[in-house]
């Protein structure tokens, strides 16, 4: 990758579990366990997964809000993995974060002007026209009235608060923005406003986004490439089109097929992949392939050998022994009754006009590299 | 006879800042075995309605007027004690957040047993057996062991299943689910939606599902009611709402939502502005400050409150635009933009 702005290699974060007075470590929650990806300048990378998959932790590691256990984070040519607070501070101008909850991420005792102006103060940035003018310009940019400068957060609605948060993020013209569930706390009609705002800002200011979200439709709308996480690992990473049209990992297939579709005519003929049970605890994840306990395609090898995240010629990366939509998917052996029904469901889904995530088997023309 | 019927229900809360008209003249009816989806943004009055039906505003500050008929009985004028005997047995509720809806000090089993024994004169052991059966019915593995677990020992999906078991334990004829899957992950949400669909078929209950997620509504509902600022603004079958929506707010909701089942559109089409405060509901049509088509009503939208009128075959719309204008706007201006070229 020539112009990758952010490069994450084998990133790990293990939260220790301690016991007793001496804080003896008895275990670790492997929240993020070997995640690697690159973010190219100007693109949007979506990180999706269910709760507990480590997507938020990944975001916090990149912004260095928490200290990584292992791996490497390279931002704009600097290795920031273990950079000291003092040395990383100047770089923080360039990496900013949008938080999920616009109620808890704004200090209720500070005015909007103080909140959005804080980055200038902290970084010691002097602007030609003065901080107030600069803040008011940013407020206008995110669709707020510059006269709101002296108001407090409680005077605003949820959507407006999220705009204040975005304004703060943009204050110092960052290069990379990590948005952790930027719209999930908002009402449907407001969500769309904020999604459009994020897109406009990206075009205007040439921003690069890492968007962390659990809503697969929102992620499809704003991302150029999407990484799917499961229990601390990336199981699939591909450009938007191939991930949503010919997903290869069974988990991605299941996720896409679980999304409720707002079309009452579809619900009768739509066959779904149903995963059993919940996501296992990251405290004690299943060995080898972490998805094998819930996977309908799992075979013996899945519980013994961990499938590596392999890149195909098309750039589609997947970590699975028996991927869907693979070049040789016709040859994949199917065993067990559960597997047969699931396979049938897949085919039924593929036949019914383009139900999400279920292209006909073999549609993906990717070849292994 | 209709099983549940609301006639001009109003639930207002006096506050220091003024009167909050959470529900302002709501009427609908529901048959046994049918599912009604109530859709709306936060503050549209959907949850207040459901609590009102269950009689949970009684004794509080709320001012309630109108009528709620449940199986031939009027509930607004009924005493709190009487409604209490119906709650659990005749009607039950599934709450959004199972962790705060269950008592953390008691086992899941104890909470189901308690509900069952209030309405049935049976021994503890019989009730316990019934609780185990219910947990089994909603798909909790090893129900005979799990009955003695505490809520915190369950995962989010299992807790929601246990809540459903509790709600169904007395075989209610009306079940109200308030955002039943909002707190859940998408794969677990799919399991719960399947479960609710199966259970409704088996129990033949009337189901009201309250949510802001149009996808969830489309999965379950026969009929859909769209609420805005305490009023119903559109009502129809789910085909009416998704195929031939006629209210500008419903168009806005559909345009705001990225869809996985369609080609990706370049832009979402959000509704401008924010939902109104329920203390100062805008004059005339409550939606007019956010509506793009208000200027085509000849000024009526800012002065007159529109009435909920039938458009075609039971499809009700509260809008000043004429039916023909609405249908032509939908066909020519809205629908083409919802689909990518």
| Residue A114 CA: distances (Å) to CA of A84, A135, A151, A179 | 27, 9, 10, 22
pLDDT band at B58 (very low <50, low <70, confident <90, very high): confident
Give the C-alpha separation, A112 to A168, whole Å.
Answer: 9
Name which of A266-270, A337-341, B283-287 the model is least confident about.
A337-341
**Residue that finishes a domain, picked among B153, B171, B189:** B171
Task: Please give the structure tokens belonging to residue B154.
Answer: 């369950």
Higher pLDDT, B312 or B93: B93
- In whole angstroms, give the CA distance from residue B85 to residue B220: 29
Give the closest of B141, B186, B216 to A255, CB-based. B186
What DSSP designation does A331 have? Answer: G
Mean pLDDT over the full length of chain A: 84
Min Cα distance A298 → chain B (Å) is 18
Last residue of a domain, one of B171, B205, B226: B171
Q: How far apart are CA A183 and CA A178, in angstroms?
A: 13
- Please list every residue in chain B whose beta carbon sits closer than 8 Å to the beta carbon of residue A258: 186-187, 189-190
- pLDDT tens-digit readout, B63-78: 999 999 999 999 999 9
Asked if B242 lies within 8 A of A189 by C-beta distance, the reply is: no
Give the strands of the sheet with A225-230, arranged side by side.
A95-98, A176-180, A208-213, A44-48, A225-230, A233-239, A317-318, A310-311
Assess whether pLDDT exceeds 70 at residue B224: yes
Q: How confident is the model at residue A351 (pLDDT cuts 50, 70, 90)?
A: very low
Q: According to the model, what pLDDT value does residue B199 have?
A: 85
Say how many domains are in chain B: 2
- Res. B313: pLDDT tops 80: yes
Flag whether B131 is in a domain: yes
pLDDT of res. A369: 34
Q: Is A206 touching B (CB cutoff 8 A)?
A: no
Contact A217 B258 (CB under 8 A): yes
Task: Give A37→chain B minimum CA distance, Å.
Answer: 24
In the listed set B171, B192, B218, which residue is the last one of a domain according to the structure?
B171
Q: What is the pLDDT of residue B340?
A: 67
Q: Model confidence over B39-48: pLDDT tens digits? A: 988 888 998 9
- Chosen for mutation from A264, A268, A275, A353 (greatest number of chain B CBs closer than 10 Å) is A264
> What is the per-residue pLDDT for B95?
87
Residue A339: the pLDDT is: 34
Q: For residue B157, what are its two tokens?
A: 């999906």
Closest CA to B46 of B35, B57, B37: B37
Tell whether B47 is covered by a domain.
Answer: no
A264–B218 CB contact, under 8 Å: yes
How much is the pLDDT for A353?
A: 37
Q: Please return the burial class of A87, using the count of CB atoms within 10 Å of its CB with bins 0-12, 13-18 and 19+.
A: exposed
Q: Write down the pLDDT at residue B71.
A: 92
Which domains can be identified in chain A, with CATH numbers?
Answer: 4-227 (3.40.50.300), 248-351 (no CATH)
Residue A7 confidence (pLDDT): 95
Q: Could you report the predicted ipTM of this complex, rounded to two decimals?
A: 0.85
Smallest CA-to-CA distance from B41 within A158, A199, A175, A161 is with A158
Q: Which residues of B touch A262 (CB under 8 A)?
A: 214-215, 217-218, 242, 254, 257, 259, 261
Contact A255 B221 (CB under 8 A): no
Which residues are B206's β-sheet partners?
A: B174
| Cβ-based contacts of A160 with chain B (< 8 Å) | 274
Predicted confidence (pLDDT) at residue A49 exceeds the cutoff of 60: yes
- In the predicted model, is pLDDT for residue A367 greater than 80? no
Q: Tokens representing A241?
A: 């089109």
User: Does the pLDDT value for residue A283 go beyond 90?
Assistant: no
Residue A349: pLDDT band (50, 70, 90) is: very low
Least confident of A237-241, A257-261, A359-363: A359-363
The answer to whether the beta carbons of residues A128 and A106 sit under 8 Å apart is no
Q: Is the pLDDT of residue A1 over 80?
A: no
Q: Domain span at residue B317? A: 246-338
Comparing A233-237, A309-313, B28-32, the range with the smallest average pLDDT is: A309-313
**Using CA atoms, how far apart are residues A77 and A59, in angstroms rounded to an integer?**
19
Helix (H, G, I), strand (E, B) or coil at A92: helix
Of B72, B30, B165, B179, nearest to B110 by C-alpha is B165
CB B8 within 8 A of CB B67: yes
d(Cα A258, Cα B140) in Å, to the nearest integer? 20
Give A275 to chain B, closest Cα distance, Å.
Answer: 7
* Residues of B in Cβ contact (< 8 Å) with A196: 267-268, 270
Q: Is A76 left (phi over 0), alpha (psi -120 to 50) or beta?
A: left
Can you tell me the mean pLDDT for A14-41? Answer: 89
pLDDT reported for residue A324: 85
Q: Looking at residue A2, what is its pLDDT?
A: 55
Q: Is residue A330 predicted with pLDDT exceeding 50?
A: no
pLDDT at A336 over 50: no
User: Given this model, what pLDDT does residue A342 score?
Assistant: 37
Is B118 within a domain? yes
Q: Is the CB of A160 inside 8 Å of chain B's CB atoms?
A: yes
Q: Does B236 map to a domain?
A: no
Residue located via tokens 């089409």: B269
Q: For an interface test with B, which of A51, A260, A268, A354 has the most B Cβ atoms less than 10 Å from its Cβ?
A: A260
Nearest residue to A162 (alpha-carbon basis) of A189, A186, A131: A186
Given this model, what pLDDT does residue B106 score? 94
Q: Is B307 a domain residue?
A: yes
pLDDT exceeds 90 at position A26: no
Residues of B in contact with A272 (CB under 8 A): 190, 194
Whole-number Å distance between alpha carbons of B67 and A224:
53
- pLDDT band at residue A347, thresholds of 50, 70 and 90? very low
- Domain assignment present for residue B254? The answer is yes
Residue B261, in any domain of the structure: yes
Which region, left, alpha or beta, applies to residue B52 given φ > 0 means left and ψ of -120 to 50 means alpha?
alpha
Q: Does A267 touch chain B (CB under 8 A)?
A: yes
- What pLDDT score was predicted for residue A327? 61
Q: What is the residue-averaged pLDDT of chain B?
A: 90
B17 in a structural domain: no
pLDDT category at A268 given cuts 50, 70, 90 is: low
Read off the pLDDT of each residue in A267-290 and give the average, rounded to a whole number: 81
Across the range B271-280, mean pLDDT stands at: 86
pLDDT at A269: 67
Inter-chain CB proximity B257 and A261 less than 8 Å: no
Query: Percent of chain A scored above 70 by pLDDT?
Result: 87
- Under 8 Å between Cβ of A359 and A245: yes
- Within an 8 Å CB–CB cutoff, is residue A195 touching chain B? yes
Q: If you average pLDDT over residues A273-277, what whole number do you get? A: 80
Segment B92-111 shows an average pLDDT of 89
């Amino acid at each position: 990758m020539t112009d990758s702005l952010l490069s994450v290699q084998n990133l790990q974060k293990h939260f220790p579990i301690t016991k007793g007075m001496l804080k003896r470590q008895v275990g670790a929650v492997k929240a993020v366990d070997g995640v690697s990806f690159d973010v190219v300048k100007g693109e949007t990378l979506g990180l999706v997964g269910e709760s507990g998959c480590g997507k938020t932790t990944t975001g916090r590691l990149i912004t260095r809000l928490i200290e990584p256990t292992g791996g490497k984070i390279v931002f704009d040519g600097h290795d920031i993995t273990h950079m000291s607070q003092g040395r990383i501070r100047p770089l923080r101008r360039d990496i900013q974060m949008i938080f999920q909850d616009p109620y808890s991420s704004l200090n209720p005792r500070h005015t909007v002007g103080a909140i959005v102006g804080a980055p200038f103060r902290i970084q010691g940035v002097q602007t030609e026209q003065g901080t107030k003018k600069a803040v008011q310009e940013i407020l206008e940019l995110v669709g707020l009235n510059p006269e709101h400068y002296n108001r407090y957060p409680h005077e605003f609605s949820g959507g407006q608060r999220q705009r204040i948060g975005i304004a703060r993020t943009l204050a110092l013209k960052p290069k990379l923005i990590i948005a952790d569930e930027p719209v999930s706390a908002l009402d449907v009609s407001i969500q769309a406003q904020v999604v459009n705002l994020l897109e406009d800002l990206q075009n205007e200011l040439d921003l690069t986004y890492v968007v962390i979200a659990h809503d697969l439709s929102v992620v499809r709308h704003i991302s150029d490439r999407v990484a799917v996480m499961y229990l601390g690992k990336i199981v699939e990473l591909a450009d938007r089109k191939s991930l949503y049209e010919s997903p290869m990992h069974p988990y991605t297939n299941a996720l896409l097929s679980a999304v409720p579709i707002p079309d009452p005519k579809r619900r009768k003929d739509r066959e779904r992949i149903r995963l059993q049970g919940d996501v296992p605890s990251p405290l004690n994840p299943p060995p080898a392939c972490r998805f094998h306990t819930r996977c309908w395609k799992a075979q013996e090898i899945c519980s013994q050998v961990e499938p590596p995240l392999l890149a195909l010629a098309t750039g589609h990366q997947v970590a699975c022994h028996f991927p869907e939509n693979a070049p040789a998917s016709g040859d994949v052996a199917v065993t067990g009754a559960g597997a047969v029904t699931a396979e049938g469901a897949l085919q039924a889904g593929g036949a019914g006009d383009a139900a999400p995530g279920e292209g006909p088997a073999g549609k993906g023309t990717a070849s292994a590299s | 006879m209709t099983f549940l019927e609301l006639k001009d229900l109003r639930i207002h809360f006096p506050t220091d800042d003024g009167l909050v008209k959470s529900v302002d003249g709501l009427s609908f009816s529901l048959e046994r075995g049918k599912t009604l989806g109530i859709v709306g943004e936060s503050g549209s009055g959907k949850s207040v309605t459901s609590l009102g039906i269950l009689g949970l505003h009684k004794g509080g500050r709320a001012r309630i007027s109108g009528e709620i008929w449940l199986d031939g009985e009027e509930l607004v004028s009924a005493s709190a004690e009487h409604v209490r005997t119906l709650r659990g047995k005749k009607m039950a509720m599934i709450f959004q957040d199972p962790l705060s809806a269950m008592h953390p000090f008691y086992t899941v089993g104890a909470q189901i047993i308690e509900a069952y024994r209030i309405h049935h004169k049976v021994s503890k052991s019989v009730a316990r057996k019934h609780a185990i059966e219910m947990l089994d019915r909603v798909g909790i593995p090893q129900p005979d062991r799990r009955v003695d677990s505490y809520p915190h020992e369950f995962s989010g999906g299992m807790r929601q299943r246990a809540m459903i078991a509790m709600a169904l334990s007395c075989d209610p004829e009306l079940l109200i689910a308030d955002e039943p899957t909002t707190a859940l992950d998408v794969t677990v949400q799919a399991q719960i939606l399947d479960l609710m669909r199966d259970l409704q078929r088996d129990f033949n209950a009337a189901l009201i599902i309250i949510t802001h997620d149009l996808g969830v509504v489309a999965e379950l509902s026969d009929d859909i009611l769209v609420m805005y600022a305490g009023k119903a603004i559109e009502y129809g079958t789910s085909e009416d709402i998704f195929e031939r929506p006629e209210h500008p707010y419903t168009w806005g909701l559909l345009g705001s939502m990225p869809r996985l089942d369609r080609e990706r559109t370049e832009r979402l089409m959000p509704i401008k502005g924010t939902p109104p405060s329920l203390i100062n509901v805008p004059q005339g049509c409550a939606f007019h400050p956010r509506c793009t088509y208000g200027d085509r009503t000849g000024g009526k939208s800012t002065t007159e409150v529109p009435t909920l009128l039938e458009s075609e075959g039971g499809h009700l719309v509260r809008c000043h635009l004429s039916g023909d204008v609405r249908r032509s706007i939908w066909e020519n201006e809205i629908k083409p933009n919802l689909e990518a070229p």
